[in-house]
């Protein structure tokens, strides 16, 4: 056996040993066991009545103008029953809830690692066993009917018993022959819904709603947080969006980037838990403080440049930098938020079609070719700078249509000038941001140096991140 092969095997054994210790520790510290019959009892009653199951629930009926059908009650009972199943399964570290297949495949690295997740197919709930095989991940559907969980030819009254038998007997699961070895525990950034207390609604958007909430941390400390509650109307899209944003934000640790605490995917609705920006939104602050001194506005601008410098060093393209996506912390420090459109680990991306895009913040190469890069973020930062010193009184290009704004961006030497009364440095920074050729346009290091000459920009060597 070659030396490299022996090292690889040794590394895998060490990783498995560490994983097993983590599993044992989490099992010891985890939530107290839930009585297994909870998984089955309520569901059996509803399933028998409807001839359905958690892995094949009834299709929701479309809302009718007439009085609701008497079939609605069993459907509601079924939904509650499936919720009971979810709550019971959260007692087991291998249950991850509503997580996308891609997320699972990124998680499971060692052969035999496994987890159970919930998914939807044609609006029907399915439970699935995901297992790392030799070179890929196998996804095996789990069945439930008449109080019995089944997988191929194995039937058990509880899912835990079924999983335990597969692990203890090392029985290969056909047709791939994959074998369960080590449960992959929920990551530390997964929270249960019971850990989150919703206090009041703060706002809403296309993705769903934002609420003020209280989060109970692993050490039982409680903190105020902002909770994004995702719409369940497009659960697959919500899943992908939520987990991409969460995966990206886990990388960040910077005072000018909104902090990510975790995600709650075990049941619907999926929630993303982030730092509560005590100062509220930048736009609201500026509109309610008409006499903000220029020194304060320069602080906001510098904070934004610093945060974007941090992101650019990590090859993250924000793609939606604007005042509407900036928040303020407890000490009025600006924090960049909303990474739903962001991309990572790429220097640029190209879209064939631009749909529902914020025209007035886009660079010429984006409007012409659909190109996005860190340099297009720099252009957007120039527009953000205008918003800050206009005190967010209006959108850029006030009084003009998107079509007219597009003409200015594509054809004018500079699309806009600094608002009246701005310090000279503002126009200087806007000039380097609004260079038409992206190769000649400033980067965020230069922008930050102009605003804060003595400051060392935040940088980090690339390739130092670990996803899990």
Three-state DSSP class for 273?
strand
- The length of the chain is 468
- The answer to whether residues 306 and 448 touch, using CB atoms and an 8 Å cutoff, is yes
Burial classification of residue 327, based on how many CB atoms lie within 10 Å of its CB (0-12 exposed, 13-18 middle, 19 or more buried): buried
**Residue 338, by phi and psi: left (phi above 0), alpha (psi -120 to 50) or beta?**
left
d(Cα 131, Cα 171) in Å, to the nearest integer? 13
Name residues whose C-beta falls within 8 Å of residue 410's C-beta, 6 or more positions apart in sequence: 364, 367, 368
Whether 320 is catalytic is yes
d(Cα 456, Cα 19) in Å, to the nearest integer? 39
Burial classification of residue 365, based on how many CB atoms lie within 10 Å of its CB (0-12 exposed, 13-18 middle, 19 or more buried): buried
Count of alpha carbons within 13 angstroms of residue 223, beta-carbon side: 15
* Residue 278, both tokens: 């005590």
* Residue 300, both tokens: 């906001």
Picking from 287, 276, 274, 324, the residue whose alpha carbon sits closest to that of residue 304 is 324
Sign of the Cα pseudo-torsion (98, 102, 103, 109, in order):
positive
Instruction: Please state the separation of Cα 112 from the chain's center in Å.
Output: 27
d(Cα 428, Cα 414) in Å, to the nearest integer? 12
d(Cα 321, Cα 358) in Å, to the nearest integer? 10
The H-or-E segment that residue 283 falls in is: helix 282-288
- The answer to whether residues 192 and 266 touch, using CB atoms and an 8 Å cutoff, is yes
Q: Is 228 annotated as a binding residue?
A: yes
**Torsion (CA) 226, 228, 229, 233 in degrees, nearest 10:** 170
The C-alpha angle 161, 162, 167, rounded to 5 degrees, equals 95
- The answer to whether residues 148 and 155 touch, using CB atoms and an 8 Å cutoff, is yes
* Residue 236, both tokens: 């697959």
- The answer to whether residues 38 and 86 touch, using CB atoms and an 8 Å cutoff, is no
Which 8-state DSSP code applies to residue 314? T
The H-or-E segment that residue 128 falls in is: strand 124-132
Catalytic-role residue among 320, 338, 377, 395: 320
- Residues annotated in the binding site, as ranges? 228
Instruction: Please report, in range form, the residues annotated as the binding site for ATP.
Output: 228
- Residues with catalytic annotation? 320
């Amino acid at each position: 056996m070659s030396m490299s092969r022996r090292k690889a095997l040794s590394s895998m054994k060490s990783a498995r040993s560490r994983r097993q210790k983590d599993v044992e520790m989490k099992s010891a510290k985890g939530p107290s066991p839930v009585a297994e019959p909870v998984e089955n009892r309520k569901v059996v009653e509803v399933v028998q009545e409807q001839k359905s199951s958690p892995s094949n629930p009834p299709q929701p009926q479309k809302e009718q103008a007439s009085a609701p059908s008497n079939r609605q009650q069993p459907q509601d009972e079924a939904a509650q029953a499936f919720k009971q199943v979810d709550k019971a399964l959260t007692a087991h570290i291998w249950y991850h809830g509503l997580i996308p297949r891609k997320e699972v495949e990124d998680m499971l690295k060692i052969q035999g690692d496994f987890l159970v997740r919930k998914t939807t197919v044609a609006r029907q709930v399915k439970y699935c066993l995901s297992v790392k095989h030799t070179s890929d991940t196998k996804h095996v559907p789990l069945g439930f009917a008449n109080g019995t969980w089944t997988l191929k030819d194995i039937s058990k009254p509880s899912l835990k018993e079924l999983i335990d038998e597969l692990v203890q007997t090392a029985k290969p699961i056909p047709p791939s022959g994959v074998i369960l070895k080590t449960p992959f525990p929920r990551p530390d950034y997964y929270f249960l819904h019971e850990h989150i207390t919703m206090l009041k609604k703060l706002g809403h958007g296309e993705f769903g709603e934002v609420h003020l909430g209280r989060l109970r941390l692993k050490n039982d400390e409680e903190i105020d947080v902002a909770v994004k509650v995702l719409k369940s109307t497009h659960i697959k899209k919500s899943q992908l969006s939520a987990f991409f944003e969460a995966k990206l934000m886990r990388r960040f640790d910077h005072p000018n980037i909104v902090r990510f605490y975790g995600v709650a995917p075990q049941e619907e609705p999926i929630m993303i838990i982030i730092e509560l920006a005590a100062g509220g939104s930048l736009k609201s602050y500026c509109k309610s403080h008409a006499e903000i001194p220029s020194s304060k506005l320069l602080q906001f601008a510098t904070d934004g440049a610093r945060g974007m410098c941090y992101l650019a060093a990590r090859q993250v393209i924000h793609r939606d930098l604007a005042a509407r996506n900036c928040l303020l912390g407890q000490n009025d420090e600006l924090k960049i938020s909303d990474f739903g459109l962001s991309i990572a680990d790429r220097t640029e991306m190209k879209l064939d079609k631009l749909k529902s895009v914020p025209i007035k913040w886009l660079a010429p190469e984006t409007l012409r070719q659909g190109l996005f890069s860190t340099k297009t973020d720099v252009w957007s930062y120039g527009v953000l700078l205008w918003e800050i010193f206009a005190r967010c009184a209006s959108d850029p290009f006030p009084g003009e249509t998107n079509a007219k704004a597009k003409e200015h961006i594509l054809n004018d030497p500079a699309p806009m000038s600094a608002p009246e009364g701005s310090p000279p440095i503002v126009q200087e920074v806007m000039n380097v941001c609004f260079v038409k050729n992206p190769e000649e346009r400033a980067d965020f290091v230069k922008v930050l140096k102009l605003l804060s000459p003595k400051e060392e920009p935040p940088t980090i060597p690339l390739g130092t991140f670990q996803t899990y």
